[in-house]
Amino acid sequence: MGGNKKYYALPITEVLRLLKASTDGLSEKEAEERLKKFGLNELVEEKESIFLIFLRQFNNPLVYILLAAIGITLYMGDYIDAGIIGGIVLINGLLGFFQEVKARSSLEALKKLTETKTKIIRDGKEKIVAVSQIVPGDIVILAEGDVIPADIRLIESVGLTVDEAILTGESIPSEKDATVTLGENTPIYKRSNILFKGTIVVRGKGKGIVYATGRNTEIGKIAEKTKEKSPESPLNRALKAFSLKWMIILFFILTSIFVLGLVQERDLYKLFLLIISELVSAVPEGLPLVVTFVLVIGAMTLAKRKTLVKHLPSVETLGSATFIVSDKTGTITEGKLKVENFKTTDKDLLFLASALCNDAFDGKGDPLEVALLKWLEKEGFNWKEARNKYERIWEHPFDTKLRLMATINKVNEKNYVLVKGALESLLKLSDDDPEKFLKWHDEMAEKGLRVIAFGYSEMVELPEDISEIKIKLIGLIGFIDPPKKGVKEAVETARRAGIRLLMVTGDNIKTAIAVGKMVSIYDDKDVALHGTDLEKYSDQELYQILKKTSVVARATPEDKYRIVKVLQKNKEIVAVTGDGVNDVPALKVADLGVAMGSGTEAAKEVAKMIITDNNLAVIVDAVKYGRIVAQNIRKVIYYLLSCSFGEIILLTSAFLLKLPLPLYPIQILWINVVTEGVQDKMFSFNKEEKNLMTEKPKRPEKTFFDKKQLFDTIYTAFIMGGINLLLFIYLLEITTYERAVGITFTSLIANQWFNGFQAIKGEPFFKNVYRSFVINPYMYLGVGIGLMLQLSATYIFPDWLHTVPLTLNEWKLVLTTSLLLFFAIEIKKWIEYFLKKVR
């Protein structure tokens, strides 16, 4: 039992015997035993061990520099300093370690919510189980859009074609046939009676028996070759660009200081410690960790809002989206069709075709086909009796290229070909005068109805090619798919937010426009394209047209894919929504693929985010929260950089004025623990400050590092560094050097706390004092923790950090510098506020 036998070369009876199974499926007891024997049906990711995660916290150039500093201090005989620096490096490493482990656990919990499921037979009954629980011998039932859960030998198949590109590289879907028995040397790409794990059912349906799971599957054997890295998100690209620029600036600053120190013949040991101090101050080594923390909190919050995140950076990507390319049915509309109108030349024959050229049963199946059966019941037509009476002897499942479905049923001893599909498709098979049918079609489409046509033909032999038969048109049926509640308001919100919504649908262009108008996606100034129009334009021409387009009708999966690629080529950030197998190509290449919770497993497999409530309103709400996350990251970056740069200005200014160092390196490391190590994490809990959905989308590099951000950072840094420099100079005149350093050290920490109070809000603190306290209460909790740590350093172990116990008057100095910084920022904010009002 397993993946080594050549099941494709054996008849199905022999396969069942070897796997000790039957078409009624395994018993639950047997399935449990096999699960213990074969393990979970999953390609186990090679997870980094806890120990390696811990070691990795110390695997960066900054830590190497600090280790060198420890070596130098040990050589110089400063054992206490060396021990404290080592201890703080360890504390920083432990903080990073615990936060990363917690982040990984949170993501694993969210991934469990998105686990794919499949339909199987056990104990003779159909049931839905998680793919990971499937074992060899299970009978699996598959339909269009399903991802094959394991390696399977087919037992039954009807019009089954499978996309095996992931395994064979063939872009053309493979036709499958359960009835054939193949030769022992048949290559993988010709095994037409086998379904492989990870491939996708493009059309048709089938049933088969699992013979290999997990690592024993074909895809499991080559798992390393088929792994794809997640595409780099706009956020990661922006952070990389920032890091590079920031490091170049630091290199020039520190090189200049070092050269100047050599020219001034400064003590080499102290000069080296100054360089290390400035480097540790300047590089926000905690930034990636803090950003991850913000994103994890964001992903957990989105999960409560019916949005499950599979790829962490997509939380921020959603907030940066400039285009949402959405399908119509099930996202913008209810997806629950009902027959609204019909036109026919033969009512009885139309009823019969609606019942027989239809795969739905008892409320299950394609929504359009379910709606047909409900309509027939309402009209008093017994569709079950018709199906029992008129046997189906052949079928052609719905074809996405031809846009039709056909069956042959034996009706009164004659073979009737019954066809349903798009009117344009059926007209190609018909010699009827199209004028009447086109008129009926347009009347229905202009009312926003989804229209399908029916036709029939008598046939003696089974057709070889459905596109070559000739039919007579019977009539048209119009369905209404009403817009979902809240979609219109969501569309208007997205418009105000500067996000362009593009509805890409397989529907007729008139139906698509009518629905677009209902939900405010389309107005008379917009362009509506037909899918076939896209071929006329070059990529650049198409981009210019897409900027004015809100509806693309009769679109194929290739059309949707090209639209996404063209937009991305022109630096748009594109979110794509979809639920069907036809959406997979576009979902996969989008900056953010958003699958519907009720969609196909194929769509959910490639998406980076899953919306459990299939509603555009939920997506727009998620965009809003994505922008809140982006703003919180912006505030974290401002806070870390302004504090770090403030330290640089203090140290550099003292050096240029030939003053002794105002801070020891271990004090700067302590600052990272007391402020950056605690307070920066609190930005994750910031609430929305203003209505971000009235602003145009910004590229991440502009969101995080625009001119205002640069000005605010430099302004705060110069005030912070300048105030503490003046304090240090004043203290050197009235007290000892050690006491001056201790007071300046505490002052700088308190300054950074007050900077944090200002950083949580863009508007002036005193414009709405109540809001300033409730927008993020955790910030004040963070300062409380920092205060307790600093009091410990000041009064319990002052010698460890070269500090001194402060008197009440000295605490007043600390409070004075902090308030000066706080009000300097407050005054700047009020000036900006009034200037904005004047404009």
Say if residue 783's pLDDT is above 60. Answer: yes
Which residue, 456, 443, 451, is CA-closest to 476?
A: 451
In Å, how far are 347, 408, 430, 456 from 470, measured between CA atoms? 21, 14, 6, 8
From CA 119, how far away is CA 354, in angstroms rounded? 27
* Best-predicted range by mean pLDDT (419-428, 604-613, 698-707): 419-428
Give the pLDDT confidence score for residue 341 in this predicted structure: 93
pLDDT reported for residue 66 = 61
Choose between 12 and 582: higher pLDDT: 12
Q: Residue 734 class from Cβ within 10 Å (0-12 exposed, 13-18 middle, 19+ buried)? A: exposed
pLDDT band at 165 (very low <50, low <70, confident <90, very high): low
Which range among 303-317, 504-518, 642-656 shows the weakest confidence by mean pLDDT? 303-317
527: which strand partners? 549
User: Are the beta carbons of 714 and 249 closer than 8 angstroms?
Assistant: no
pLDDT at residue number 1: 57
Residue 369 amino acid letter? E
- Quick check: 718 and 602 in contact, CB under 8 A? no
Predicted pLDDT at 418: 95
Task: Dump pLDDT digits (tens) for 597-631.
Answer: 766 666 777 778 888 776 777 778 778 888 888 88
Sequence letter at residue 792:
S
Inter-residue long-range contacts of 805-813, CB under 8 Å, 24+ positions, other chains counted: 806/742, 806/743, 806/746, 810/743, 813/727, 813/743, 813/747
User: Beta strand pairing status for 592-596 and 574-578?
Assistant: parallel
Give yes or no for a contact between 596 and 344, defined as CB atoms under 8 angstroms apart.
Answer: no
- The residue-averaged pLDDT of 61-68 equals 60
Is the pLDDT confidence value at 197 over 60?
Answer: yes
pLDDT score for 801: 76
Average pLDDT estimate for 185-194? 85
What local confidence, expressed as pLDDT, does residue 145 receive? 79
Residue 670 confidence (pLDDT) above 90:
no
H helices, E strands: number in the chain: 31, 21
Q: What is the mean pLDDT of the chain?
A: 82
Tally of CB atoms within 10 A around 425: 20
Q: Quick one: which H or E segment has residue 481?
A: none
Helix (H, G, I), strand (E, B) or coil at 331: coil
- What contacts 705, CB < 8 A, 6 or more positions away? 238, 241, 242, 637
* 144 contacts 203 by C-beta, under 8 angstroms: yes
Interatomic CA distance for residues 176 and 158, integer angstroms: 9
Whether residue 219 is predicted with pLDDT greater than 90 in this model: the reply is no
* pLDDT for 83: 74
Per-residue pLDDT, averaged over 487-511, amounts to: 86
Q: What was the pLDDT predicted at 469?
A: 87
Sign of CA dihedral 363, 368, 369, 373: positive
Q: How confident is the model at residue 485 (pLDDT cuts 50, 70, 90)?
A: confident
Closest CA to 675 of 756, 744, 743, 762: 756
pLDDT confidence of residue 472: 94
Instruction: Give the residue with greater pLDDT, 438 vs 331.
Output: 438
Residue 782 reports pLDDT greater than 60: yes
What pLDDT score was predicted for residue 829? Answer: 93
Measured CA to CA, the distance from residue 45 to residue 570 in angstroms comes to 35
Output 142 or 100, whichever has higher pLDDT: 142
In this prediction, residue 433 carries a pLDDT of 86
What is the rounded distance in angstroms from the CA atom of residue 152 to the CA atom of residue 208? 6
Q: Answer whether 569's CB lies under 8 Å from 549's CB.
A: no
pLDDT over 90 (residue 750): yes
How many C-beta neighbours within 10 Å does residue 289 have? Answer: 21
Q: CA 475 to CA 355: how far, in whole Å?
A: 14
* Mean pLDDT to the nearest integer, 242-269: 77
| Confidence band for 224, pLDDT divided at 50, 70 and 90 | very low
CB 643 within 8 A of CB 675: yes
Q: What is the DSSP letter of 687?
A: P
Q: Rounded distance, CA 92 to CA 184, Å?
A: 60
**Which residue carries 């872009």 as its tokens?**
171
The answer on pLDDT for 354 being more than 80 is yes
Q: Rounded to whole angstroms, what are the CA distances from 705 to 292, 648, 681, 702?
A: 18, 19, 20, 5
Range with lowest mean pLDDT among 114-123, 336-345, 535-544: 114-123
pLDDT given for residue 592 in this prediction: 84
Model confidence pLDDT, tens digit, residues 271-312: 776 776 676 666 665 566 677 777 777 777 777 777 777 666
Residue 155 has pLDDT above 90, yes or no: yes
- Residue closest to 693 by CA, chosen among 498, 502, 501, 837: 498
Q: What 8-state DSSP symbol labels residue 231?
A: P
Q: Tokens at residue 487, please?
A: 């979609």
Report the alpha-carbon angle 115-120-124, nearest 5. Answer: 145
Residue 253 makes CB contacts below 8 A (sequence gap 6+) with 278, 282, 648, 652
Q: Are 397 and 405 in contact (CB under 8 A)?
A: yes
Check if the beta carbon of residue 721 is closer than 8 Å to that of residue 649: yes
**Amino acid letter for position 282:** A
Which whole number is the average pLDDT over 717-722? Answer: 95
Q: Can you give the pTM of this predicted structure? A: 0.65
Integer Rg of the chain from CA: 34
Q: In a 3-state reduction of DSSP, which class is residue 548? A: coil
For the ranges 150-154, 218-222, 365-369, the lowest mean pLDDT is seen at 218-222
The larger pLDDT score, comparing residue 455 to residue 462, is at 455
Which residues 6+ apart lie within 8 Å of 283 measured at CB?
Answer: 62, 246, 247, 250, 644
Burial level of 232, CB count in 10 A (0-12/13-18/19+)? exposed
What does the DSSP 8-state code read for residue 357?
S
Question: How much is the average pLDDT of 647-671?
Answer: 84
Which range, of 68-77, 388-397, 605-614, 700-709, averages the lowest pLDDT? 68-77
So which residues are the catalytic ones? 327
